[in-house]
Amino acid sequence: MLFDSHAHLTDRRFDKDRDETIQRAFDSGVEYIMNPGADFETSVEAIELAEAYERIYAAVGVHPHDAKTMDESMLMLLESMAKKKKVKAIGEIGLDFHYDNSPRDIQKYWFREQIKMAKRVGKPIIVHDRDANQDVLDILKEEEAFENGVLLHCYSGSAELARQYVKLGAYISIAGPVTYKNARKTVEVVESVDLNRLMIETDCPYLTPVPYRGKRNESAYVRHVAEKIAEVQGISIEEVAKATLENAKHFFRIDE
């Protein structure tokens, strides 16, 4: 049984076969799916999807790309939405200095504000970090985010930084790129982080793992991420599936 800890099933690329895609995931052994928002609209859609499927959960938040669209009224609406039963986290939030789709000072401001909001509602956060390692870490420390729960989604940093995060109490989520030929950096992370701090994800429809690379990603393919972790750590896929499932259930506070 697998837990896809990060999927964007409300993405337009699933409009023609969303229900079938979700059923394929369940049929392939995916037990639960976390579907985070990336802006206000997709946060609303994430809740609607979670309320339609018992084993799908939602997170609400605004991605750094869209930080420039945020204001206080949107934050208040997100905070109200975050109190719904099927909403288990705030995310995805963070910093993206690769594309800089929103000014960096605006990204930082709303990252902090959404961390504060997460603490007010008692929910953990799902963090996006691209080319902003030090700033993300500094803000998480300054805002004391680790007390409430931090998940580094689609982790792309170094093994050394991953170990720092684990010491602080964070979880590291591994996605499809771990299966790529040039994935040495991510493989080193898997080698150096204890299984009890790892989760697996697809980030679908993005970052499709081998052997489906080049096609649209979907939650059913999370198995290939688990298989690669099992290979790297020299353990069975069953051990990886069990540990990452339990880690995600604990992090998102999902009861049997």
Distance CA 235, CA 35 (A): 28
Distance CA 106, CA 117 (A): 16
Condensed to tens digits (0 to 9), the pLDDT of residues 53-74 reads 999 999 999 999 999 999 999 9
Cα 7 to Cα 15, 80, 107: the distances in Å are 14, 23, 22
Cα 198 to Cα 78, 167, 170: the distances in Å are 28, 13, 9
- What phi, psi does 129 have (nearest 5°)? -135, 115
Condensed to tens digits (0 to 9), the pLDDT of residues 136-160 reads 999 999 999 999 999 999 999 999 9
Task: Enumerate domains of the chain plus CATH numbers.
Answer: 2-251 (3.20.20.140)
Q: What is the pTM of this model?
A: 0.97
Residue 181, pLDDT score: 94
Q: Do residues 91 and 61 touch, judged by C-beta distance below 8 A? A: yes
Residue 77, pLDDT score: 98
Q: Taking CA 254 as the corner, what is the angle to CA 216 and CA 177, rounded to the nearest 5 degrees?
A: 30
Residue 204 per-residue DSSP state: B
